[in-house]
Amino acid sequence: MLNLPAKQYIALQNSGKHTNPSANSMSLATLNDIFFAAVERNLDRMMLYRENGKWLSISSHEFGRRVAHIVHTLDDLGIRSGDRIAILSENRPEWSMADMACLLLGAVTVPLYTTLTPEQTAFVLRDSGCRGIFVSSDQHLHKVLSVFPQTQLEKVFVMDSLEFTGDLAPFAQRCMTLDQMTRDDPSRDRLSPELERRARTTVPDDLATIVYTSGTTGTSKGAMLTHGNIASNVSFSLTGFNVQPGDLSVSFLPLCHITARHVDFGMIYHGVTLAYCPFLDRLPATLLEVQPTTFVAVPRVYEKIYAQTEQKAKGFPKHAIFRWALRAGRRHKPEILAGKTPTSLSWKLANKLVFSKIREGLGGRVRTFISGGAPLGRELAEWYATVGIRIHEGYGLTETSPVIAVNTPMHHRIGTVGKILPNIEVRIAEDGEILVRGPSVFQGYWNRPEETKAALENGWFKTGDIGQIDADGYLSVTDRKKDLIKTSGGKFIAPQPIENALKLNPFVGVPAIIGDKRKFAAVIISPNFAYLEGWARENEIVFSSRAELVANPRVQTRYEDAVEEVNQNLARFEKLKRVIVVSDEFTIENGILTPSLKLKRRVVEERYRREIDELYAQAEAVGTV
């Protein structure tokens, strides 16, 4: 069986270990419990989705009916416990239906990022040995069919209604639409007694999913998570957050990422309505239309909201009013961070003129803001607190299902990722690495015994992150262990805090600090082109391309000034002595950001190897190092 809840663990602060002793017994044993709880809740609006310009709802009864039909069909096709079934789709109700159907049947779901190339898709399907796959659309169907012979796939299930004619005709026998799987047959509206018995007798140790890491540091690996791993984490991750039926959350982070999937499991379990947003560029409109009460995002999304706010505040008199409001807001940050509403006249006026407009852009009803997936950065958290928004930052990894620690309304400390969940144990190794043990820690990497052995030691998972626990039990994460830059002088530089500080400059899109084994640190900056281009036009800078724009001496000076401003708060060995401004946007599509919007530092270094070598060679030549 899995590790037991936290009452089995003892806080040993004097040995570097930390647990929260207030743990209660788990309320969830398996993910199937979430399905049965959701159906029994009988919500009229369990899910929302947009079709033909209108938001339509799915009740919990209808959700249960469709899932039951899918389970029956998969069972008819011979899918059995332990079989792997992939899901390749944008966020939509059918994603959760397919996932839940597989789990009820005892199958193992393998979520795939929609941004994967055909070759990457084939690798995951082949590595995991998937027998079937759910795809959302014609586009993804063609991608899968193009690599079909390289896999062990037997069947493809298509969420969209398609006719298998023309170039699809030869594959008609291999494919089935969800309409066909959920055809009108009242006898399948509920699980048969035998299928329900099997679903209810699933045990925590049963494998639920294989989640392939997005790979910031190397080849993608499949993390094996059991029902008990994820269920135990869902049981505690939202403790302290007042989420309940009637609340609404937007599902827009890719569901193939464990953070997004975990959030959706938690929301479904607590009866929160989920509104599905399949594409990130639809998020601003979705927020205005559905008006969520809970907003969970990765830092990159919060950075974009910040940058857009700064952009909109340009020009007189808006800029002057905005800056005045920020000054008023800073005086009341402690109250916001304590969960209180300031009562001073200046704050009320600033709120009416400026801060309320920012919240209206997010729908106007959000009570709870949560950030995860990567470090938020203290400066950005402080800016949000200044405008009246308290962001609850959390921390976790795919291998920990994912939440390790999170700030809550009752226990909140800016600059940290909160207190450790009560059913897990954390300690800090001698070299500063965060180690985790508990029921949410994964079982290992699929078909990777050596890498599993390297990641787990005596039940402790090595996170690869550097951090510390303060006297009150709040966890802070400094950086990725593999991201630490060691200069040729032997000094270690943590790049993420510096990059987060740079991102507060509206001209900066995504920065990447370099300097490993070099004499000094430098930075490559992908600009916030919307802001930069607007500034260039206002200042009569003529350009015909982005390459010409970033090469302009006035633009170069602007970025050198931005870096120098951050340098003022850095130790001498950390200071960034050179800047490379590139004409590329760092995106998921060009492979520089992971699907969860984290920077792939090694990819940046390889892609700009020539520019980096030239920069350091020039510095040597002029004798500045």
One domain for residues 191 and 81:
yes
Q: Is pLDDT above 60 for 2?
A: no
| Residue 212 included in any domain | no
Grouping H, G, I as helix, E, B as strand and the rest as coil, residue 287 is helix
> Domain boundary residue among 481, 510, 543?
481
Q: Does 189 lie in the same domain as 46?
A: yes
Note whether residue 272 is domain-resident: no
Whether residues 62 and 163 fall in one domain: yes
Q: Tell me, what's the pLDDT at 24?
A: 38
Q: What is the pLDDT of residues 522-563, one digit of tens each?
A: 999 999 999 999 999 999 999 999 999 999 999 999 999 999
Mark whether 467 and 489 lie in a shared domain. no
What integer pLDDT is reported at residue 17 of this predicted model? 53
Beta bridge partners of 522: 514
Q: Kindly state whether residues 467 and 561 are assigned to the same domain.
A: no
Residue 244 lies inside a defined structural domain of this protein: no
Spatial CB neighbours of 614, under 8 Å, sequence gap ≥ 6:
none
594 and 513 in a common domain: yes
Residues 312 and 395 grouped into a single domain: yes
Q: Which two tokens stand for residue 549?
A: 């724009």
120 lies in which domain range? Answer: 32-202
Share of the chain above pLDDT 90, in %: 86
Quick check: is 563 in a domain?
A: yes
Supply the pLDDT for residue 625: 55
Residue 171 forms part of a structural domain: yes
Give the CB-side neighbour count of residue 532, counting CA atoms within 13 A: 30
Instruction: Write out pLDDT tens, residues 170-206.
Output: 999 999 999 999 988 899 999 999 999 999 999 999 9
Write out pLDDT tens, residues 44-67: 999 999 999 999 999 999 999 999
- In a shared domain, residues 533 and 503: yes
CATH of the domain at 391: 3.40.50.12780
Average pLDDT over residues 99-117: 96
For residue 315, is it within any domain?
Answer: yes
- Same domain, yes or no: 600 and 510: yes
pLDDT band at residue 623 under the 50/70/90 scheme: low
**What would the two tokens of residue 174 be?**
């291999």
Cα atoms found within 13 Å of the Cα of residue 480, Cβ hemisphere only: 16
**pLDDT higher than threshold 60 for residue 473:** yes
| Helix ranges (DSSP H) in 407-479 | 449-455
Structure tokens at 90: 């944008």
pLDDT band for position 483 (cuts 50, 70, 90): confident
Last residue of a domain, one of 429, 453, 481: 481
SS3 call for 609: helix
Write out pLDDT tens, residues 413-449: 999 999 999 999 999 999 999 999 999 999 999 999 9
Same domain, 182 and 74: yes
Q: Are residues 325 and 194 in the same domain?
A: no
Per-residue pLDDT band for 249 (boundaries 50, 70, 90) equals: very high
Number of structural domains in the chain: 3
Residues 532 and 589 both lie in one domain:
yes
Question: Diameter of the chain by CA atoms?
Answer: 81
Contacts of 516 (CB under 8 A, 6+ apart): 485, 486, 487
CATH code of the domain covering residue 570: 3.30.300.30
**523, 507 in Cβ contact below 8 A?**
no
| Per-residue pLDDT at 476 | 96
Q: What per-residue confidence (pLDDT) applies to 624?
A: 57
Are the CB atoms for 268 and 42 separated by under 8 Å? no
Domain presence at residue 211: no
Q: Quick check: is 573 in a domain? A: yes
Question: Is the confidence at residue 372, as pLDDT, over 50?
Answer: yes
Which of 147, 177, 202 represents a domain boundary (last residue)? 202
